[in-house]
Structure 1
Amino acid sequence: MGTSYHITMVDIPRGADRAKLQALIDSELHQVNQVMSTYIDNSELMRFNRSPVGQAIPVSKPLADVVEMSLDIYRRSDGAFEVTVGPLVNLWGFGPQPEPEKIPSETDIARLQQIVGSDALKMTREPDTLTRERPVEIDLSAIAKGYGVDRIALLLEQRGIRNYLVEIGGELRTLGKNPKGRIWRIGIEAPDSIGQIVQQSIGVSGKGVATSGDYRNYYERGGVRYAHSIDPRTGRPLQHRLASVTVVADSCAEADGLATALNVLGVEAGMALAERENLAVFMLVKTDKGFEQRYSAAFAPYLEKSE
């Protein structure tokens, strides 16, 4: 996944072997990578991306589950969450390709927008199959880390561990109490290039937490700032005041995907979706004086627990 992970466990059951547990965790993460990585050429996802257009391809339950959730968030966000946006990300220099010397032309953007789109993906369950109706390619980087967190959390619970924090690349899930016997306290980072400055702490147990923002990965051309988050509906980098969005949800995968979708939607449309669907959402919005906090009604209890 191109990042690190961190796990804290409290009150581990007697007889648990640390080395065996470590091996199980590493094996679980390896399995997720083998299914969903775009860095591994023979991963299940990459093999699907090379499959014939129009042919229903049998896929594993993990891949089907994550694609199904991705398509659900795509529909709920009116296309703001888009797992086939990769070609546009690459065009703007935020993928494997280097930063472009010139800003992409309207012609190049329009050409790729004709291909990109989750409407080209059709899936069935039981049996689990996936079909590309256009030559789109899926990239699950905006949701797979969260899914990996959920897999590790489930593994720990199956072994009787009831107090934990699992974090992969900033996306996390908690259960029970921290080492001090209190609810887990999570820090939401300030959108600062230096990082590691907590803007707001929240109390969370039994939920997944994910944050999406554009304040670290960007470049400038002609005095204009181009952030790595691409709006699939316009084919261009985001140009709004939302610096970061944090979501608390039942699963880390859903929190991960929703954070990306809300980041693309922006402040007004994103918060409207949050209130409409009773989502727990916290936003940091750029202003002339710094950053302003906004949060949905469903997020308020997490602020209260942090006191």
Structure 2
Amino acid sequence: MADTKIKCGVLDMKKSLCALLILSILVFSAAGCGFGQPKPVQTEEFALGTIINQQVYGSNAKKAAEEVSARIKEFDALWTINQPGGDINKLNRHAGQGYVKLKPETINILMKARQIADLSGGAAFDITVAPLVKAWGIGTDHPRVISDEEVSRLLTLVNYRDVQINEATGSASLAKTGQMVDLGGIAKGYLGDLAIQIYKKNGITSAFANLGGNVVVLGGKPDGTPWKVGVQNPRSQTGDIVGVVDVIDKAVVTSGDYQRYFVKDGKRYCHIFNPKTGYPADSGLMSVTIIASSSTDADGLSKAYVLGLQKGLDLVKRYGKAEAIFITNDKKIYVTPGLKGKFHLEDVSNEYTCIQIR
């Protein structure tokens, strides 16, 4: 039998980090460093499996940035699926065995995940896809296409409603043995909201944080103008952007097939799973960017990628508090009405067409 070549996307970490660095440089440079401008506290560190950047203005900027860093590291350990002693690891190990006591923040994020999943009935976002994620191995050194039989078996473990939460006791359970929760599709969003809370508590009025491509901004730039956040060209190997969106007090979160994937027999398999089919999503989209006040909601809603253009737009409309940028496989960029005048096409490849939805 001839060898089958497997090409992995996210395994080339240098490309992923390069793209994040370019995004960070874009936002940093947009802040302005001219004479008379206040100097920010800038940080860069590795956490959540990615690069975390902060740019914080104000007299308490250093204290606020350090507190954000500490909290991110705390929850990274608490929610990483394979972290011994962490809440999610504990919940998964006790699947089918009743309730386990969890930290209040873990209960909160599990409840938030349930609310976001309810918007699509679990068709777009479901934190119990973890058994499928593990079996496919996308993002590891050994990704594989699993059999239809294995997909069917694992699908019986996927149902976000099986995450049972008891707020009164601060505990949760998984209904079936073998079920697993993975917060990878919402954790960075939740921590983005936490960063904003910490900035506000410390009297900060202008800041941004980039958690591996999940961007949150507090206020505008120090001069009052909007922050400018780049939207990546999904097919650029060097992190080029296709456009820029102007934001104040918003989160900007993107999900796409270029972030983690592998290619086998000419077919691209991305890390975003369709919870109803058990296969990596193949929706006619390359990426979905959500702009919303809630970073947590934006993170979950960006999985509208699974639904395709029309159903994805319907989901965003049903949520009612977000704008979106959908990029299709045929290189068309669909922009929702609330972004009119705020999204600017900057496609150096000259391959994309921007369509403003009315």
* TM-score, reference length from structure 1: 0.89
With 145-154 and 294-303 compared, the bigger mean Cα shift is at 294-303
Q: For residues 39 and 186 of structure 1, what CA distance do their matches in structure 2 show?
A: 32
- Aligned pairs for 1:244-283 (under 5 A) are 244-260=287-303, 262-278=304-320, 279-283=322-326
Unaligned runs of 5+ in 1: none
**Corresponding residue of 2:129:** 85
With 161-170 and 144-153 compared, the bigger mean Cα shift is at 144-153
Deviation at 1:52, TM superposition (A): 5.2
Q: Aligned partner of 1:164: which letter? A: A
**Corresponding residue of 2:56:** 9
Deviation at 1:271, TM superposition (A): 0.8
Q: Aligned partner of 2:162: which letter? A: A
Per-residue Cα deviation, 1:263-304 (whole angstroms, up to 9, x for no partner): 1111121011122332311111121xxx11112234436438
* Cα distance change of structure 1 residues 52 and 241 upon mapping to structure 2, 3 Å threshold: closer
Equivalent position to 2:153, from 96, 100, 111: 111
* Cα distance change of structure 1 residues 215 and 97 upon mapping to structure 2, 3 Å threshold: closer
Q: For residues 203 and 265 of structure 2, what CA distance do their matches in structure 1 show?
A: 56
- Aligned pairs for 1:54-73 (under 5 A) are 54-73=97-116
**Corresponding residue of 2:245:** 202
Is the Cα contact below 8 Å between 1:246 and 1:283 reproduced in 2? yes
Deviation at 1:39, TM superposition (A): 4.0
- Where in structure 1 do 4 or more consecutive aligned residues deviate above 4 Å? none
Q: Aligned partner of 2:269: which letter? A: Y
* Cα distance change of structure 1 residues 97 and 124 upon mapping to structure 2, 3 Å threshold: farther
Q: Aligned partner of 1:85: which letter? A: V
- Aligned pairs for 1:127-276 (under 5 A) are 127-135=169-177, 136-260=179-303, 262-276=304-318
Counting matched residue pairs gives 295
Per-residue Cα deviation, 1:104-148 (whole angstroms, up to 9, x for no partner): 211111011111221211113233321211121111011101111
Q: For residues 201 and 152 of structure 1, what CA distance do their matches in structure 2 show?
A: 23
* Cα distance change of structure 1 residues 123 and 302 upon mapping to structure 2, 3 Å threshold: farther
Equivalent position to 2:343, from 288, 303, 306: 303
* TM-score, reference length from structure 2: 0.77
Is the Cα contact below 8 Å between 1:90 and 1:97 reproduced in 2? no
Q: Aligned partner of 2:167: which letter? A: R
Equivalent position to 1:121, from 163, 171, 183: 163
Deviation at 1:247, TM superposition (A): 0.5
SS at match of 2:127: coil
Give the RMSD, CA atoms, in angstroms.
Answer: 2.1
Q: For residues 292 and 85 of structure 1, what CA distance do their matches in structure 2 show?
A: 29
Is the Cα contact below 8 Å between 1:90 and 1:96 reproduced in 2? no
- Residue 76 in 1 paired to residue 119 in 2? yes
Identical aligned residues as a percent: 25
Is the Cα contact below 8 Å between 2:282 and 2:306 reproduced in 1? no
Is the Cα contact below 8 Å between 2:189 and 2:214 reproduced in 1? yes
Unaligned runs of 5+ in 2: 1-47, 347-358
* Cα distance change of structure 1 residues 283 and 17 upon mapping to structure 2, 3 Å threshold: closer
Q: For residues 142 and 25 of structure 1, what CA distance do their matches in structure 2 show?
A: 20
